[in-house]
Each structure stands twice: as C-alpha cells, then as structure tokens.
A and B are shown apart, each in its own frame.
Chain A
C-alpha cells in the first residue's frame, strides 16, 4: 500500500475560473524521493501546500499512512517542511530555531539537546549554533531549515524549492547533502522545483506538471528517454530538445526548409497515416564525428555553425537547420568555430515524434505516447 496517496485532488481558488490543480493522482511509496517539477504557475507548489495542509483541497482525497488527511491540521499530518525562503525565526538562534518545535511537542529537555546536537553535527552547524539567522549565509540558513525539519522525526519531508535562493555552486553541494540526508534518514520526501536538473539528479520519480495537470510521472531516465508529449520532452534535458515540423514521406521526412533525410523502415512504419509530425531530437543525438557520419550516412546533412557555447566538459553548437536554430551537444574535443561548415547526422533511433496537433508522443521507441 502507498504511503502517500492523492486521488483526483483538485484546487480551485475563489473568483477564478480555472483549476490551479486538476485531478492530481499519485501514489508515493514509503522512503521514496519524489520531485514535482514544472514551470512557474504549473501548480506544483499548490499541490505540495495541499499535502502540507496550508491550502484547502477543493475536491479529491489525500491519504498519508492510510489516514485521510483532507481536514487534518498541518501539525497533525506528521510532516516536516523546508520552505523556499527558509522561514527561520529571525529572533532566535540556530539552536533555538531547531529545538523550537521539539519544545512545543513537550519532548524532554535531555532528548531535545541530544537531537539538536545530532542535527547541528550532521549539518555542519556546530560553530553557528548561537548565531541568529541574519548572521548566516544562504547555505547555512538552508541547513538550519533542514535541521529544523529533521529533528522532529516526521515520516514525510516536504521541500518547496529549497535551493532556489542559493548560488549555482552551493546548489550543487546542497543537492548532494539533501540526497545523502534522504538516504540516511529514510524519510518519504516530496521535493518541488522548477529546475529539471535538481529533479533528475535527486528524485527516484519525477512528476512533471503543466497548467495544473500532471503530464507524466516516472523515473528520471524514463522521462528523458520516453517523454509522453512535446512539453515533457522540451522541459527535461538541457539544452532543450530540438523540435522540427516535418512532412512524412514514404521513406523518410522532409524539413520545412526542404531538406530530407531517409529513415529506417522501423521508424517510417510508425509514422504511417501522418502527413505532418513534430520531430524532436536531443542535442547529444546529433553527431559530428567521423564514425557516426559513416554509420548514419542516410541522415547526413550540412550546416554552418552560428554560435558555440564552451561548457568546459562539452560544447554546445548552434546552427540553422530545418527552419529553426538547432543545438547539438558535442564532446569538448570536437571543436568547431563560428562560420565553420560542418557535416552532421541525426540518430534515427533517438528521434521522438509527436502528433502535430495534440503534441502527444507517437510511439516509435516502444514505450509511451499514443
């Protein structure tokens, strides 16, 4: 049985016509790390706040550990939460911030001390325990917020974009710390983020949302490899997947700029019945190296590099093709300069096809889609 279950959960605010969240269904297993991800205003934080009890559930049911929680007060739901802006008590020291909840829960003083000592030690806050939040850096404040959440021994952790206020370097290290903490404590975690990298690197399963509706739920690689629609395909992965409006031919596809590529029969067979489709391909599936140019010669094309992004470990190459600015991700050894004319191939078995109107995936690779 699932540990947390949301059944047809909807949220509608007063004086609005549209639902903020529509028919949200999800079963979360104990100790699972789930990430809700999506663009701003997609309803991910609203869903989290409904689970926490800070937002009323307009319709549907929420179960935590087998008990219906729709009407239960936040403090009685057995949850801890880490907030986007830390929500620390500004007039209290680190130690008091962490122990405040335990005191209210009438935990014996010696046990409180033990737990606070453990939390500050595990989070590396020993030397800051007597400082107030205003004298801490962003990362330290976030650790205090984590400490406040972990000392209460709650079975569910809710995290609402906890790293969004940190700089890029600190985010990476805190990401790692949160994952480690999750493994050590074995708590069920729901993590809200708009950053797909956070979701991909931390979560056991990801729920992708758009306009209050769940688009797809699955393991990170499942979403990456088999997106169920164009939105998911575009949202997951960096740089974003290249999308082309293409015309389906008998043995291949033709791009809007008139260029054609031949595709294997296994692929074209799935496109039968379509005149037009949207073809998507990730940057790393566009190849420039000699070996791939040879293997996939049917799809061989030429383009002029318009821009390059040197990332250090890899390079992003931008070029005009198929009526759009396309991006390819290549290794750091494949150096091209702006203005270079290069040959490239698109790996046919890595192509994704989407219905031109519904934008749902057309199954080519065996999973997901229509």
Chain B
C-alpha cells in the first residue's frame, strides 16, 4: 500500500517523465505533421503552433508519400535493407551464437583469453577497421555484391558476448540429458540452446536489424549499383536531390523511421530481458 507521500511523488515523477518525453518527441511530431504538407504550408506554419498540426485530410493529404513511393526507388531500397537485415539476423544468430556457446560451455585451451580478446574487440570502433574490410572485399572481387556487404557484418563481438553471458547460465545437465536422448551437439544448439535463450536471440536480432537499418558508411562503400542500395543511402540520395521538396524529404524520413519505432515498441520487453539476463541466471 502506497503512502500519501509516495503517491504524490509518483504523480510528480509521471508529470516530469511526460514533459521529458514530449521534449524528445517534439521533433518527431513536427516531422510527422509537416510530412503531409506542401512546402508553402510548411514555411507558413513554421513560427506557429500549427507547425505541429497536420493539414486537413483532403485528396492531396498523402501526396508527398505517393510521390516518394512512385517517383523514386525508395521501396526497393527499403526491401533491400529488410533482406540484408534478415540474412544478417539468421547468420548472426548462428555464427555469434555458436561462438558464444563455445566460449560458455566448451572447454578448450585459452578459452578465457579468447573471451578477453573478443571483449577488447568490442571497444574497437567499426570506422577504424572499415578500410581493411573494404580493401579485403575489393581484393576478392566482392564489391557491389550482397556477399561483400554481408560478410564483414556477420561477426559481432558484442553479440558474441551477449550470447556467451546467457549460455553460461544454461544448466549442464540439460545437455547431458540431451546426449542420452541421442541428440548431437549441433542439433542440441538449434533445438535446445536457441529456444531456451529466446530473449537473447530476440535482443541480438533487434540490434542486428537496427544496425543494418541505420548503417550508412559500410553500404555506401560496398555498393555503387542502384539496385543494391540500402534505405539510408536512398534517403541521402533523395534528400540531397534539389528536386525533392521539404515535404517529400520529411515523408521519406518518416518512412525510414517507422520500422525502427515498430521494432522498438514490439520488442522493448525482450531487449530489456535479453540484456538483463546476460547478467543473471534464468530460474
């Protein structure tokens, strides 16, 4: 039972949090409202509260969006990115998961040192090794290919660490029981370990998706062909085009933001669970 003082403090906290979230949300709300407007209306409303109010729902309400979807290849870029994200989620879960499992459960020489090296790799920024990646991919002739884009992105030290932290708390006797049930180590990984660690699989999948969706530097180096471009590069191409209106720019930014918002709202629980469970044992 909450005391009167606690109730009052809770209310104050709620009000402060609402105010803070409005503060952070206001650019998004502004973007959303103006993405439906023509440039003249955007300029007109700029200095009034109407800047946050969308126009009336009339025939040309979705004009900016229709224009982007029909006149540019943005849909294709989005589908490309979704495809890359799907491939990288599957490969990332398998490769990083297997590495995490080995570091957690398989005894081999210098296991702890390997873990230390992988943890040290986490502090190396992608930008510092991207040149090496690029030179390697160029050398083997994989520039402008899906494989060339995907290959250096599969292994992620942070994801290995996340997997390792969760797998280390999996009970060993389940593996022993599975062995007696004629389950091979690989089958055990796919039919037992991954299903028993759903939250970390979800976390890694979300992180991978966001990584791919928001990445600009690596795809801009690997891809030159329009057919393979990702959403972020498409966004840059569209927004830097002089013929694109402000309303259209805001529409394309809105579209690129929507999947991120959906993913976060759908999986926020799993993301928190996944990260939390890396430091605690599941009951």
Contacts and interface: CB of A to CB of B under 8 A. Distances in A.
Interface string A54-81: 1000000000000000000111000111
A104 B196 contact: no
Contacts, number: 56
A74 B176 contact: yes
Contact of B196 (A52, A80, A90, A105): A90
Contact of A87 (B176, B182, B187, B198): B176
Given A87-B173, A87-B174, A79 B196 contact: no
A148 B196 contact: no
20 contacts: A74-B180, A75-B182, A79-B180, A83-B173, A83-B176, A85-B173, A87-B174, A87-B177, A88-B177, A89-B177, A89-B192, A89-B196, A90-B174, A91-B192, A91-B195, A91-B196, A101-B183, A104-B183, A105-B182, A148-B177
Contacts of B178: 89, 100
A268 interface: no
A83 B183 contact: no
A308 interface: no
B174 A84 contact: no
Given A88-B174, A90-B196, A104-B182, 19 more contacts: A52-B180, A54-B176, A74-B176, A75-B181, A80-B180, A83-B176, A83-B177, A85-B171, A89-B174, A89-B177, A89-B192, A90-B174, A101-B182, A101-B183, A104-B183, A104-B187, A105-B182, A148-B177, A148-B181
Contact of B179 (A75, A90, A148, A152): A75
B136 to A, nearest CB: 39
Contacts of A83: 173, 176-177
Interface string A81-114: 1011101111100000000110011000000000
A20 B181 CA distance: 28
B188 to A, nearest CB: 10
B9 to A, nearest CB: 36
Given A87-B171, A91-B195, A91-B196, A81 B181 contact: no
B270 to A, nearest CB: 15
A72 to B, nearest CB: 12
A217 to B, nearest CB: 26
Interface residues of A, number: 22
Interface in B151-179: 171, 173-174, 176-179
A148 B178 CA distance: 11
A75 B173 contact: no
Contacts of B195: 91
Nearest to A104: B182
Nearest to B179: A74
A363 to B, nearest CB: 43
A101 B180 contact: yes
B204 to A, nearest CB: 18
A105 B180 CA distance: 10
Nearest to A84: B173
A302 B182 CA distance: 65
B273 to A, nearest CB: 15
A81 B177 CA distance: 7
A78 to B, nearest CB: 10
B196 to A, nearest CB: 6
A79 B177 CA distance: 11
A100 B181 contact: yes
Nearest to A81: B180
